[in-house]
Amino acid sequence: MAALSLLHLILLNSVASIPLNPGSAIRDVGFPAVAFCAKKRAGILNIRGGGIQEIVTSEDIQTIIDEHADTPEGGKGKLVVVEFTSKDCVPCQSVAPLYIELSESDEFEESVLFLKVDVDANPEIAMEYQVTGWPAFLFIKSGAVQTEIVGGKLAHATLYDWIRLLMPK
C-alpha cells in the first residue's frame, strides 16, 4: 500500500507540474505547485551555463559513474542523470530544452551530473543499459541505476521531480 501511495503522490505532483490553460477547471483543485514550474514562470531560475557531457564510449560513462559515487569515508557522491536520445526522435527533441535548462540550473550544480548518449552513434551503450525506447533517462546513484523514465510526456511531467527526489541532500 505504501508504494501505491508514493505512486499517487508522484502522479498528483506530475499533474500539478503540467501548465494548464487559464480557464481550466482543474486549475484550483489544491495540488501543490512544483517548485521548478513556479520558478520558471516567475523568471527567477538562475542559469550557470551548460552542463551536459556527451558520452561516446561505455568506458566514459563508467568512469564518470565511478568518480562520482559515494566514498567509503561517508562522502556523498553525485546523482548521474543519463539521457538516451536520437536525432530522428521527435519526443527527444521536445524534451531536450527542458534537460538543457535543468543542467544549467544552479539548484543542481553541486549535486547532479547530466550526461547525454546519442543512441544512433552509440547503440552499444543503450544495449548495455537495456534502454529500448527514447527519450530515456537513467538515474544513477552510488554506482547503481535507481530508476528510469522513458517517453517525452513522462519526462516533461516528472524529470525535475525525479532529480530532486534522488539527488544527494
pLDDT in tens, 139-154: 999 889 999 999 999 9
Answer with the residue of higher pLDDT: 18 or 132: 132
Answer with the residue of higher pLDDT: 5 or 148: 148
pLDDT band at 41 (very low <50, low <70, confident <90, very high): very low
Can you give the pLDDT at residue 96?
95
Can you give the pLDDT at residue 19?
41
Please state, rounded to an integer, the average pLDDT across all residues of the chain: 76
How many whole angstroms separate alpha carbon 22 and alpha carbon 3?
33
CB burial of residue 113 (10 Å; 0-12, 13-18, 19+): buried
Domains of the chain as residue ranges with CATH: 47-166 (3.40.30.10)
Catalytic residues: 89, 92
DSSP 56-83: -SHHHHHHHHHHTSPPTTS----EEEEE
**Could you give the 3-state DSSP secondary structure of residue 165?**
helix
Can you give the pLDDT at residue 118?
96
